[in-house]
Chains A and B, each alone.
Chain A
């Protein structure tokens, strides 16, 4: 189902993905950008909670299509090599990543930070977006 000229918000249920932290919370699809909202809680196994950053080469990809939708802006998380160093294992951070606009069509979305990811990279697979489930937002 294709929808045009609307901004649609998707509240993302828990994904069946090994990467649960940061947690994907919402996806906002507009004609100007695609925004993904994340929530991150620092884990116990890093002293002082560790750190976060995002690669400038991070992109979105729709399954079955080779086009890459590049990262345009990051809010609440620095672009590597800069990074946010946490101060405790009880810290937390909300952040948003803005990518190029994806077509408003039903799709399965992947977010790739690294082609050959380590456990520290933010790669997510299988974000199902059904346009009829998107909620139109007021601009």
Chain B
């Protein structure tokens, strides 16, 4: 549950009272009265404060793991751990500045690119920060990133993420846009990948008997299965994670050297935005350049080359020249 902004204000007052060494062991009634006074809340009840304390005690991420206890002898509340910090972090001035700058970035990325669990955590951080730094609520943002609306299938992000971490096979229904056909698949997932704002789940597919990539937008009703997880070789996982530009490899092709020639115009873009860590540019006197990559060729890579039109010419491997020509 996201934390209500007013609730967080009360937590801060409760925290302050439990920390007050001049007046230790405040009672429920005293806490309620001081909250009423400080927050200008006329109708605040002791029941609400009791619930607040219970919520503060709850484990993270829903609560704060606050070690609040009722001292029967003193008839009041106290922190068992005097070093406890509400929110779990103590910040210096430099941290505060960095976080203030980050608020804009976090807001602009928003909840569309992360799962519900992460959105809640983010909301919690933002609520905390807004209480600390009210100027963070300024209306005008100085940062803007690509934030597309939530896509179909993204609601399964958390399920697939957990399946990857807990090594749980998943059955789902898949729709193939090209073939216009449905099929039931069982995948042993090991990687979630985002590429150009599209999300993919990658794993060993029982039906295909090999590692396959599925767009989350084409996945329906995933179900976690109680069966042995089929592990994929570490080298394959690393290749999927590091040696692709995009997600869909061209069948039967291994990692290899890819050589292209760029116009002076295209050279500017590839210099400014390298597409892969293996990219090496050798510039020629006329501004043109020869670029090499060590990559597993993918559909997305060929599409990228094609999108530059006559500014990109594929030199090697020869089969890729023909393959790309056929995509035109």
Residues of A that sit less than 8 Å from B by CB: 9, 11-12, 23, 25-26, 28, 37-39, 41, 90, 92, 94, 96, 135-138
B183 and A25 form a contact (CB under 8 A)? yes
Q: Which residues of B contact A138 (CB under 8 A)?
A: 168, 224-226
Q: Which of A26, A38, A135 contacts B227 (CB 8 A)?
A: A135
Q: Which of B171, B181, B224, B226 contacts A26 (CB 8 A)?
A: B171
- A38's nearest neighbour on chain B, judged by CB, is B182
Q: Which residues of A contact B173 (CB under 8 A)?
A: 25-26, 37, 39, 94
B305 within 8 A of A: no
**Also in contact, A41 and B225, with CB within 8 A (given A26-B173, A92-B175):** no
B8 within 8 A of A: no
A9 and B175 form a contact (CB under 8 A)? no
Question: What is the size, in residues, of chain B's interface with A at 8 Å between Cβ atoms?
Answer: 17
> Which chain B residues in 191-232 approach chain A with CB under 8 Å?
220-221, 223-227
CB B129 to nearest CB in A, in angstroms, measures 37
Q: Which residues of A contact B224 (CB under 8 A)?
A: 137-138
- Chain B 36-76 interface 0/1 with A at a Cβ cutoff of 8 Å (1 = within): 00000000000000000000000000000000000000000
B168 and A96 form a contact (CB under 8 A)? no
A135 and B226 form a contact (CB under 8 A)? yes
Residues of B that sit less than 8 Å from A by CB: 168, 171, 173, 175, 180-184, 186, 220-221, 223-227
Main secondary structure, interface of B, reads strand
Interface core residue of B175, B221, B227 (most chain A CB under 10 Å): B221
A25 and B182 form a contact (CB under 8 A)? yes
Q: Can you give 21 contacting A-B residue pairs, CB < 8 Å? A: A11-B184, A11-B186, A12-B184, A25-B182, A25-B184, A26-B171, A37-B184, A37-B221, A39-B173, A41-B182, A90-B180, A92-B182, A94-B182, A94-B220, A94-B221, A135-B225, A135-B226, A135-B227, A136-B226, A138-B225, A138-B226
A41 and B184 form a contact (CB under 8 A)? no
B171 and A135 form a contact (CB under 8 A)? yes
Q: In the bound complex, how far is the Cα of B223 from the Cα of A138, in angstroms?
A: 8
Q: Which residues of A contact B226 (CB under 8 A)?
A: 135-138
A137 and B225 form a contact (CB under 8 A)? yes
Q: Which residues of B contact A23 (CB under 8 A)?
A: 181-182
- B179's nearest neighbour on chain A, judged by CB, is A41
Q: In the bound complex, how far is the Cα of B220 from the Cα of A120, in angstroms?
A: 25
